[in-house]
Amino acid sequence: MDLIFNIGQEGRKLSLLPGCDVETVSISDGLRRNNPPKLPQLSENEISRHYTKLAERTHGVNNGFYPLGSCTMKYNPKVNEETASLEGFAGIHPLQKESTVQGCLEVTHKISQYLCEITGMDSFTMQPAAGAHGEFTGLLLIKAYHVDRGDMNRKKIIVPDSAHGTNPASAAMCGFDIVSIPSSDDGCVDIEALREAVGYDTAGLMLTNPNTLGIFDKNITEITKIVHEAGGLCYYDGANLNAVMGIVRPGDMGFDCVHVNIHKTFSTPHGGGGPGSGPVGCKALLAPYLPGTQVSLDENRDCHYTASEKSTGAVKQFHGNFLVNVRALTYLLTLGREGIPEASSNAVLNANYMRVKLADTFDIAYPGTCMHEFVMSLENFKKETGCSALDVAKGLLDYGMHPPTMYFPLIVHEALMIEPTETEPKEVLDRCIEALKEIHAKAHEDPEHLKGAPHNTVIGRPDEVTAARNPILCFSREV
């Protein structure tokens, strides 16, 4: 496909703008560039075709099924986009006076309150821009809490081996040492290993529940109690709340701090580097350290910015990715109090439906009821056919479906992690189940064919190592 710089002709342009009807001002020569920039020169028609072609070369939720485990690629209702593009939300400036942005402050206040209710926390900051950014922010709060009490020895964060990779990375960025603890045979935290790991130097524990195996840890209240008794705090990685929203709350499980991925659970577009939002909530004991400003209501129901007394400092300019939060609030108000737990229940139902239907063909890593996702191990399949989890993932692309997450979590070999989400109808789940079974059968007959998959996509199989190590990300040209 041609780059945009290689199409069009000199002098071709969009001429939709009206002629200038205000006085022109000339810019002094010292501020002017010597040569005009070499921008692409295209007609509107050519631009439209170019971007349509680009869009056809990728796969999004609008193209088809996207069961990418841990990423919650649910459908994003279009009404969210409509509210986010309302002039009163999209056309404001963060430095406007409080009195002129009361509606926007009310949105921020409302979404924080709803998140408090869903997670069982007392306060929220809307500043962090993504999940990992939220983890970093939450750990800063935990660090500030210990330091403020003069408890300087608490330098260790305990992380189970099933954790998302961002957990140990965020802890390390905050200057903590990481203690990894194993999972027991049922995929839950090994309680004895946890008892041995905690001590006077424990700053806290980071946990995802349900974890990345899709398992809800039955010992959760005991786990948080063990950490608290050792003087540590408990951080809940709530990147996806899709199995639990409106059903159980991290605050009731014993957690002190949580981040939520608005761009996963609360249905705003993600992937491809678009704006996300990873607000952080905490119990009252951590609230004095929250970054930036929160919005509070006075007795006249007027909204004001208030700064926390011992703030750890801003982690992003202003108030986070505001329009992402508008989308999330729209989603919450659309679903309402009954719709939110129903969405979670359907996410769990869809995952269990696929798990049970696939269990006669594939090895399920941890059998038993799962939450919003489950993990299959293709280790035996690989021994039988020579084909890997990667080959199966690539094969699925030929059916117009996005592959599941591969090789994660690390404790399952040849892992494929499937998260169908609640927004898919049964026919789509059935088609994916059939596709995976067909790929399985064909791999036994003709493994070489699967190793060459995908055969029907615009781009076949790039060399993974070259693509990762030597990506060509820049187009250089004279400007």
Ligand X SMILES: *Cc1c(COP(=O)(O)O)cnc(C)c1O
The distance of closest approach from Cβ of residue 239 to ligand X in the complex, given in angstroms and rounded to an integer, is 3
Shortest CB 170 distance to ligand X, Å:
9
The piece of 38-46, 89-97, 130-138, 454-462 that touches ligand X (CB under 6 A) is 130-138
- Which lies closer to ligand X via its Cβ, residue 50 or residue 372? 372
Query: How many CB atoms sit inside 10 A of residue 248's CB?
Result: 17
- Closest to ligand X by CB, 164 vs 402, is 164
Give the number of other Cβ atoms within 10 Å of residue 242's Cβ. 26
Residue 246 binds ligand X, judged by CB under 6 A: no
Query: From the list 130, 157, 223, 429, which residue makes contact with ligand X (rule: CB under 6 A)?
Result: 130
Q: Which of 105, 111, 132, 439 binds ligand X (CB under 6 A)?
A: 132
For residue 310, the tally of other CB atoms under 10 A from its CB is 12
CB 228 within 8 A of CB 234: yes
CA angle 90, 95, 96 (to 5 degrees): 70
Q: Which residue is nearest to ligand X (CB)?
A: 131
Give me the least distance between CB of 256 and ligand X, in Å please: 17
C-beta pairs of 55-59 under 8 Å, 24+ apart in sequence: 56/458, 57/1, 57/458, 57/459, 58/272, 59/397, 59/402
Which one of 119, 137, 242, 261 is in contact with ligand X (CB under 6 A)? 261
Write the interaction track for ligand X spanning residues 62-81; mark x where CB under 6 A is met and - where it is not: --------x-----------
Binding mask 322-341 for ligand X (x = CB under 6 A): --------------------
Write down the least CB distance from residue 242 to ligand X, Å: 10
Give me the least distance between CB of 320 and ligand X, in Å please: 13
Q: Minimum CB separation from ligand X for residue 1, in Å?
A: 28
Which residue reads 């927004």 in tokens?
Answer: 423
Q: Which of 166, 265, 325, 421 binds ligand X (CB under 6 A)?
A: 166
CA distance 163 to 153: 24
Neighbouring C-alpha atoms within 13 Å toward the C-beta of 192: 2
Nearest approach in angstroms of CB 278 to ligand X is 6
In whole angstroms, the minimum distance from the beta carbon of 316 to ligand X comes to 13
- Helix (H) and strand (E) counts in the chain: 16, 13
Q: How far is Cα 429 from Cα 401, in angstroms, rounded to an integer?
A: 11
* Residues 79, 330 contacting (CB under 8 angstroms): yes
- Residue from 109, 154, 164, 249 that binds ligand X (CB under 6 A)? 164
Residue 47, SS3? helix
Between residue 180 and residue 239, which ones bind ligand X under the rule CB under 6 A?
A: 208, 212, 237, 239
Q: How big is the site for ligand X, counted in residues (CB under 6 A)? A: 14
Contacts of 124 (CB under 8 A, 6+ apart): 112, 115, 116, 279, 280, 281, 282, 294
Q: Percentage helix, strand, coil, to 5, in the chain?
A: 40, 10, 50
Which of 270, 232, 276 lies closest to 254, judged by CA? Answer: 232
Min dist CB 280 to ligand X, Å, is: 12
Q: Which of 131, 231, 404, 454 binds ligand X (CB under 6 A)?
A: 131
> What is the token pair recorded at 160?
């189970």
Instruction: Annotate each residue in 274-313 with x if it binds ligand X (CB under 6 A) or - if it does not, as one string.
Output: --x-x-----------------------------------
Closest distance to ligand X from the beta carbon of 213 (Å): 11
**In contact, 277 and 267? CB cutoff 8 Å:** no
Q: Which of residues 364-383 bind ligand X (CB under 6 A)?
A: none
**The two structure tokens encoding residue 122:** 């007392």
**Binding segment (CB under 6 A) for ligand X, from list 124-132, 286-294, 302-310, 459-467:** 124-132
Positions that interact with ligand X (CB under 6 A): 70, 130-132, 164, 166, 208, 212, 237, 239-240, 261, 276, 278
